[in-house]
Amino acid sequence: MSAVDTLDGFLALLKDELGLEATPEEAGRSLADLPRWDSLYLLRLVTLMEDETGRRLTLAPVLQARTLAEIHAVVVQQAPPQHTAEAQA
């Protein structure tokens, strides 16, 4: 199971790796409302998610996301949970 499989794990990874702290409630807020959020955070987040999942993300859906929760949903959709992928292998 990957850290990004759940919203809580996704947020913990953002805190540990990017220094971006957000609660599950804050994950539903607009990215523009997050302190210190900018395009560099987005690039770092995409790189982190690709490293964590081992898969490249399609950027269009990530760029269309307006909240961290929406970005998490895109990541899970594009890189299904590892335990599911392993079970199918």
pLDDT tens-digit map of 52-87: 999 999 999 999 999 999 999 999 999 876 544 444
User: Dihedral of the CA atoms 9, 7, 62, 26 (nearest 10)?
Assistant: -110
pLDDT tens-digit map of 9-35: 999 999 999 999 999 999 999 999 988
Q: How far apart are CA 74 and CA 57, in angstroms?
A: 9
Q: Helices 7-18 and 39-53, interaxial angle, to 10°?
A: 120
Position 48 scores a pLDDT of 95
Position 65 scores a pLDDT of 97
Position 35 scores a pLDDT of 84
pTM confidence score:
0.85
